[in-house]
Amino acid sequence: MSMYQKLIDNEAVMSVVGLGYVGLPIALAFARHIKVIGFDINEERVEMMRNGIDPSEELEARDFQDCDITFSADPEDLKKAHFHIVAVPTPINQSNHPDLKPLLGASRTVASALKSGDYVVYESTVYPGCTEEDCVPVLEEMSGLKFNADFKVGYSPERINPGDKVNTVETIVKVVSGSDAESAEEIAKIYNLVVKAGTHRASSIKVAEASKIIENTQRDVNIALINELSIIFDRIGINTYEVLEAAGTKWNFLKFTPGLVGGHCIGIDPYYLTWKSDKLGYNARVINSGRYVNDAMGAHVGKQVVKKMLEQKKNPLDSRVLVMGLTFKEDVADIRNTKVVDVIRELKSYNIEVDVVDPFASPSEVVQEYGFELTDNPEIGKYDAVVLAVRHEPYRTMDEAAFEALMKDDKGVLADLKGLLRGQIERLNYWSL
């Protein structure tokens, strides 16, 4: 009997290892059709999910209803599963090199539960070759089983967009691959249980791995171009958004906008590709240049805010700045690899007092991750500059008067990183990328 048939007949169980932004939605989607074990090493997070609470604040209590799922932090429970999905983070280290410790750790955990006939499918973003060259040897060594003879492996990259209620697990075409023709067929059929948009079967695991990593690399390079153009246009004295609007009247112009490039995907994934490229003896000049430009944007913004303050005869040593928004994108709680932190650090390097507010970010997570505290409420009439860093919904309704009220005097600087208020500011000293 096929693995697909065993799963839908409840003769086999699926596990999802890693229940973050990626793993939890996948686990719940499958749990509406088959038996699922949702596994995470964080007992506190697991307990929240047992009570219908998403620690990532992406899903609601109703999303947990009518799901045949058991949440666990006990690796022994994984021995009950036969089809394992690994969806753990793949970060980078301080040298911008791949940090595979979470992925290899999860592989060891799965390997300890692996049985003959089992499947392991990886969803974590990696460089082409990582699944077969790094993960499979761990599975073989720890389990004592033989790859393809005793167990099968696949790769199906995640495409979840945090905060997006339209493009979800069910509605985005799923790229799938397997270690042989049989496993590719089985994996595609299993994902088709939940992915209404259907699946695209890649010819190999390496192709599937590459397809994911270039999605974000392509966006990174294009945003870097626009960021570089924004620096040039600022020196010329023209507004980038006005230029983009004019250029965008041509049918084939690609509509990217300037901004901070952070988060767990776009700001990280290209480094996995450049690291692999270096190992193969090729310097990925375009990709590396894009990374250089985007990684430098936070410091650039900070310097520009200081420059605008100096133009208004404000002494940075006596100044106070409010930064509005900390998460890596609007209307989400995710603070991972947010580049707003680079803006804050640059401002503080001038000994400026900086207050940071964010209606979505967890204060405790901010302290743990970045070492500073969020401000509960900004003080009226206390700031020399306001940096509108993230386009959160509560900020999108603010007008010039609301920002004026925050300023110390009529020489206040408003830095609008997303051009949200372009054309609406008459009295404040306005600047945008």
Question: Which residues are within 8 A (CB) of 32 and not within 5 positions of it... i.e. 6 or more apart?
Answer: 66, 67, 68, 194
Predicted local confidence at residue 171, as pLDDT: 87
Predicted local confidence at residue 392, as pLDDT: 95
Predicted local confidence at residue 58, as pLDDT: 87
Structure tokens at 215: 């999605």
Predicted local confidence at residue 159, as pLDDT: 83
Residue 381's identity, in one-letter code, is G
Active site residues: 265
Burial 174-194 (b: 16+ CB within 10 A, else e): bbbbbbeeebbbbbbbbbeeb
Pairing mode of beta strands 320-324, 174-178: unpaired
Which domains are assigned to the chain? Answer: 3-203 (3.40.50.720), 228-432 (3.40.50.720)
Per-residue pLDDT reduced to its tens digit, 2-28: 999 999 999 999 999 999 989 999 999
Pairing mode of beta strands 152-155, 174-178: antiparallel
Predicted local confidence at residue 421, as pLDDT: 93
Per-residue pLDDT reduced to its tens digit, 117-148: 999 999 999 999 999 999 999 999 999 999 99
- How far apart CA 122 and CA 67 sit, in angstroms, is 22
- How far apart CA 216 and CA 9 sit, in angstroms, is 38
> Measuring CA to CA, how many Å separate 290 from each of 34, 177, 247, 248, 400?
43, 29, 21, 22, 34
The mean pLDDT of the chain is 95
Q: Which residues of the chain have pLDDT under 70?
A: 164
Cβ(86)–Cβ(110) below 8 Å: yes
